[in-house]
Each structure stands twice: as structure tokens, then as C-alpha cells.
Structure 1
């Protein structure tokens, strides 16, 4: 058994389901696990009628295994870049519409200032996962929607934009010039289980200005799933204004949302990084943000 396979067992807490995910036979997995525990000299899991739970030693060893796997992936990625003759790759994380036009303009301007051997690779994440991607070394720099956990990261605010309500076309509020969270009444609101509760509540404006809570609608795993359910009439959603431009479709209507904090986006990267590419990208974003119409201390 490879140590990383134990992470699947920890996730599933069931050997049968873990075997299915690993595409190996059910009888082979306990044997492989027993061999690994014998090799390491410690018990990784406690077996019981309900499945298998990681021991204290197991949890620590699994965490170390994950770090090793991620480092191995970074080593392989570095080797691949050199095989292709590239002098550098900058992986830029974002979610949905990112920081609006600033995201695309920054990537284009950064590429213009650097030789062809430097490549900018966009990496999209869903519902607050871009900060975790930075900490795990999956991206080098990211546009992070706030609120978010920026522990272990350096960051600076670069973009602010108002929010909107996404509604199915023909919905009564869709014809209004603006709506507030209280105007939504008992309209079901989309949400996600993939983000921390504080993140979900901020986006949902929960509690509302009068202390009430929204009526929770269906869940979703990404922006496309969210908008598909809004368009079919299952629920409504709150989103940044840039999504109204990035996700235009005839069965959706976007209405400005009042009485709600605007979305603030920060540019973030790993604390202690010494990458010329990251510093160069941050400089480009800083310059473009400062030159944007309406920029100033209240925007930054």
C-alpha cells in the first residue's frame, strides 16, 4: 500500500468504499493496510463494525504523507517545466469572475512584460478554496474573495465591487432597479456546503438587517451549478456584479443588491515566497488597480 492510499481510507472511514475509490479489490485493501502498519510499526486505523477510524498516530502519519505527495507533485511540475524549455510558470488562482476585468488585464499585462518563456497559467477554484490552494502550493498567487482565511499568506486589497441578485427571468423582482435582502422575503437562496459557515453566512447576508435568516434553498458545488438551478427557478443567488457580465444568459436576470457589504478581493501569495514572478505579478496588479477609475483608499 502506498502511504497516500491511507488518506482515502481516512476520508471514507470504510474499507469497502475506499477500495472502490482506489479501484482495487475489497479483500486486497485490508491486507495492504496490514502490511503498511507492519512496515511502519504502528496501527494507523482502529477497525470496528461501522468501518475504520484513524488513530492519533494514523492522523499524524497521513498528514505527513499528504505533504510528501504534494511536494512530489511540485518536484514533477518543476522537472516538466524544464523539459519543455520554459524559464518560468506563474500559476494564478481565482474563483468564478475573480477580480473582474482586473484578473484578465493583469495576466495579459504581466505576459506582455515578460519573455515568451514565462507562462501564466490560470487555475480556477470554487467557493473560497483559492486560499487553501495557495497554502498547499497548488498556485503561486491568487485573487482571493473575502472573507477568507489568509493564515500563512501575504495579501493586499486590490478590488471592490457591489453585489447583485441572480433571478430567473420573469421572476417578479427581476423587473426592479434594485432589491435589498429584506425584499427577498421567503425566496429560497442558493448556498454551498463546500465553504466554511462564516463564508456562507456573509454571502447570504445572514442575519438580515432585521435579524431574520434567509430561507435556504438547494446547495451547489460551483458557480455553474448555482446558476443552472437559479435559471430553472429552484432558487435565487447573491453574487458579485462582475458575475452579471461573465455569466450572461437569457434565462437569468441580475439586479443590484442594496444594504449588503460589497465584495472585496485581495491578491495573496505564500508568506516568505522569494519568487521574482510573484513579485512582478503583484506589481502589475497594484499598478492596474491604482489606475482603475474610481480607485482610492476606499477601494483598496
Structure 2
């Protein structure tokens, strides 16, 4: 049994369809089917039941998949430890963030770290919709500005930034020139969302349920900021975002209006392990943010 097989198994479970799983893994569907059959033969149990829409885990499959997830997470941690040491020796600090990150704090912290550590190269790494914590666990970045809510289990973290939320509207929308709107003012508007993020993250951003107990009117999905804003500007739907996006993402056809009655975005600085470079960066962020140690 190989880690590759366990990753295949997890992807099939997540997608519920061999074709979609093959696409996310960048392998052919026949190759994935063959790998699944070999794994089932090796383990001596059927892991999935096939149906018209795809596949569903068997009782044995559910248990095996749960263990596979734990094993892969642990393997990623082992690789991440080695990667952090390797990067530390070569003088590189990789900083993850999403969209506008923690606003101006993100850029100021990177600049101050580069000034005080001239021998270290700072590499910004952008992720889409809740991918920062997973990047930390996979060893892709050393430290990250994480938009909450997020699963930070096993990571060191501290909240370093908060900012209000805004609604993105097409410029010809009746509310586009308003000084502010409430969540109920836009409750009937189709809302952009993503299938790429955990559902709890999606629901928080969508303010689901709304104050009256209703569910948002779900609009089209998107995989990244650019796809989201393109559809908002063309009038397909609206979106919710942190206020820093009103500065970092301006474009024709798009208006940003403050949301007056929803909780603000909280941004945590998070890391896995505590090398000297990470601790130095955290101290700079802490100082710039005015947050306690």
C-alpha cells in the first residue's frame, strides 16, 4: 500500500465520482479505476458501491477512508517538518494568504521582515477560498494569514487583524451608491459561493442562516477571486468580501458597499512548528498589529 493510493481513495470519497476525482488528481479515469480495484483486492474488502451518479463508500470503506485521512495528514506533517528545515537553511520564508490577506498588514509585515532579514527571501503564496490552513499542513508555506472560520487544529495561531465586510454589486444595481446596506437588504439577491471551501466557511461568509432564519439564494459557484468578481460585474450575482477587497480589487462594473450588520472578518496568523524565521515574522506581525504576545 502506498500513500498515493490513499490520496486516490480520499479524492474519490470527496468527489463521489471517479471522473471528477480523476480530474482533481490529474490522472485518467481508467488509471484511477484500476488503482481502486487493486487497493480493494489488496485490502480484501469492497470500499465503494457503484451507482448511476458515481460511487458511495461502503461501511468498510468509510472506516478505511477515515484512517486514510489520518495517515495522509500525518505523512504531510512529516514532509512539512523536513521542508521547513530545508527552507530555513536556504533562507526562504513562504507566507501564505488569501485574496487581500490581512489587508495592509500583510504587505507591511513582509516588507518589514525583508528589511530586518536581508539575507532571507520572502515568498508570498496566494491561495483560494480557505486553502491557507491546508497549505500549512502540507508544508507548502511556513506561515499564513488565515481567514476565519478555519480548522486550525494542530496549528499555532493568534488573531492579528479584523475588518468589516462589504457586498460587491454591479454598478447598475439600485444599491450600488448606498452608504451602507444590511444583510436583509440583499437577502433575495443570488449570492456567489464556492464548492472548494469547507461548508462551515461558506455558510459564515454567506451569513447562513439569515436573521429571519431563511437560507441565502445561492447563485453561481466560483473557484477564485477573479471568477467571482467577473460574474458580479456582469450582473449575475452579488458577493460578500472583507473591506480590504474594495481597495485591492477595483474594476469597471463593480461597486463595493459596506455591510452594516454582520460580524467582521477575523484573520489569524498561523504556523505549524516554530522555526526562528517564523517566530521572527510572527513577532513583526504582532508588533505591527498591536496585538499581545
Tell me which interval the TM-score lies in, with the shorter structure as reference length: 0.7 to 0.9
**Cα distance, 1:260–1:60 mapped onto 2, change above 3 Å:** closer
Matched residue SS, 2:279? helix
Q: What does residue 293 of structure 1 align with?
A: none
Moved more, 276-285 or 54-63: 54-63
Q: What does residue 201 of structure 1 align with?
A: 203
Aligned equivalents of 1:58 and 1:208: distance in 2?
34
Q: What does residue 219 of structure 1 align with?
A: 221
Q: What does residue 94 of structure 2 align with?
A: 91
Aligned equivalents of 1:153 and 1:70: distance in 2?
11
- Quote the offset at 1:123 in angstroms: 1.5
Give the gaps of 5 or more residues in structure 1: 291-295
Contact 2:105 2:285 in 1 (8 A): yes
Q: What does residue 170 of structure 2 align with?
A: 168
- Quote the offset at 1:201 in angstroms: 2.1
Matched residue SS, 2:175? helix
Counting matched residue pairs gives: 283
Residue 71 (structure 2) aligned to one of 64, 70, 80? 64
Contact 2:167 2:238 in 1 (8 A): yes
**Cα distance, 1:16–1:6 mapped onto 2, change above 3 Å:** farther
Moved more, 211-220 or 92-101: 211-220
- Quote the offset at 1:146 in angstroms: 1.6
Give the gaps of 5 or more residues in structure 2: none
Moved more, 59-68 or 211-220: 59-68
Aligned equivalents of 1:10 and 1:92: distance in 2?
27
Q: Does 1:177 align with 2:179?
A: yes
Moved more, 184-193 or 223-232: 184-193
Moved more, 243-252 or 22-31: 22-31
Contact 1:178 1:255 in 2 (8 A): yes
Contact 1:164 1:238 in 2 (8 A): yes
Aligned equivalents of 2:19 and 2:153: distance in 1?
36
**Cα distance, 1:78–1:259 mapped onto 2, change above 3 Å:** same
Bigger radius of gyration, 1 or 2? 1
- Quote the offset at 1:132 in angstroms: 2.4
Q: What does residue 250 of structure 2 align with?
A: 248
**Cα distance, 1:44–1:75 mapped onto 2, change above 3 Å:** farther
Q: What does residue 4 of structure 1 align with?
A: 4
Q: What does residue 263 of structure 1 align with?
A: 265
Normalising by structure 1, we get a TM-score of: 0.79
- RMSD value, Cα: 3.3
Aligned equivalents of 1:123 and 1:172: distance in 2?
37
Aligned equivalents of 1:266 and 1:76: distance in 2?
22
- Quote the offset at 1:10 in angstroms: 4.5
Contact 1:165 1:254 in 2 (8 A): yes
* 1:204-251 deviation per Cα after TM superposition (whole angstroms, max 9, x unaligned): 222333333322211112211111110111100111110011111011
- Quote the offset at 1:110 in angstroms: 0.3
